[in-house]
Amino acid sequence: MKNIDWKNLVFGYVKTDYNIRCYFKDGKWGSLEVSTSEMIDLHMAATCLHYGQEAFEGMKAYRGKDNKVRLFRWEENWRRLENSANGVLMQPVPKEIFEEACRKAVELNQEYIPPYGTGGSLYLRPLLIGSGPKVGVSPADEYLFLVFVTPVGPYFKEGFKPVKMQVIRDYDRAAPLGTGSIKVGGNYAASLRAGQRAHQEGYATAIFADAKTKQYIDEAGPANFFGIKDGKYITPDSESILPSITNMSLRELAADMGLVVERRHVALDELATFEEAGACGTAAVISPIGMIQDRDTGKVYEYSKDGNAGPWCQKLYARLTGIQYGEVEDTFGWCTVLF
């Protein structure tokens, strides 16, 4: 085990020993390669640099209560990467290459997996880029797929404590029928100015209104939004929202725990009616929302009076992380035990 301050990990990059690479050339994928370098040798005319041909995933491996290491729902990440690749005309990564690369990356860097009880996990970043040179606007002929890992703590510095968020309408993360539903870097680049301003004004992140009407909730910064009211788990449905695997899991858990699940358009006016609210994603898991301020109207919506997460956020978080850390039975078959 590496000499790392496990309990004070932030969500950031920590150098590990190995990463895994695979190249698509001459019409076929090659063999996996193990690398110790943090650098990529890339042609200056690579399509990822000029035309945005790149996509990535975020996933986690957990050291459980029984000391076994579990990878959470990796097949869903593979499916989403395939969808992203198709969305920007890249060569999709075969399932067996994706799985083997993720397994190898975890196994070779297992000394960086945070110990059980520290609240940390090993974050995996599968990345697919157009590495072949093109000057005209067209898909590359060559691609690089790689997986690197890093030990992480909570995405928001507050951890599992309510955060403040801000509704905005003067920036758009993604256009209708654009790339909002696939995990490509351009969506995140488009969110940076809004996110930075939200931080400067004292908020964890910005909640984007839908780009077309400005009447509905889209993404909550780098995560999906959900609200709880009247025994219902309600989350936005939009062609511009990334299909979060965490949100997918929470919807299944919510239904299993007796909540009615609704995936639909969620009007900004409905914020006043929620009993609890949260943001969810691989990085954040669940970030309970304590307060939302509408930047345009000045309206403030409070969801935590005592500084703690609401009861349903707590139950959902405990059940999901319990499965990930092997504390409760994985009745859904979500986790793959690696070793």
Residue corresponding to tokens 């930047």: 295
Query: What's the mean pLDDT in 141-169?
Result: 91
Q: pTM score > 0.85 for this model?
A: yes
**Which parts of 30-168 fold into alpha helices (H)?**
47-50, 74-87, 95-108
Active site residue 183: yes
Taking alpha carbons only, the member of 120, 24, 116 closest to residue 68 is 116
d(CA 41, CA 63): 33
d(CA 190, CA 265): 22
What whole-number percentage of the chain has pLDDT above 90?
95
User: CA distances (Å), 1 to each of 83, 103, 115, in order?
Assistant: 36, 18, 9
Condensed to tens digits (0 to 9), the pLDDT of residues 281-322 reads: 998 899 999 999 999 999 999 999 899 999 999 999 999 999
Q: How many CB atoms sit inside 10 A of residue 120's CB?
A: 25
d(CA 47, CA 245): 28
**50: pLDDT strictly greater than 90:** yes
Q: Which residue of the set 134, 183, 212, 299 is catalytic?
A: 183
At residue 157, the pLDDT reads 67
**232: pLDDT strictly greater than 80:** yes
What whole-number percentage of the chain has pLDDT above 70?
99
For residue 74, the number of C-alpha atoms closer than 13 Å in the C-beta half-sphere is 24
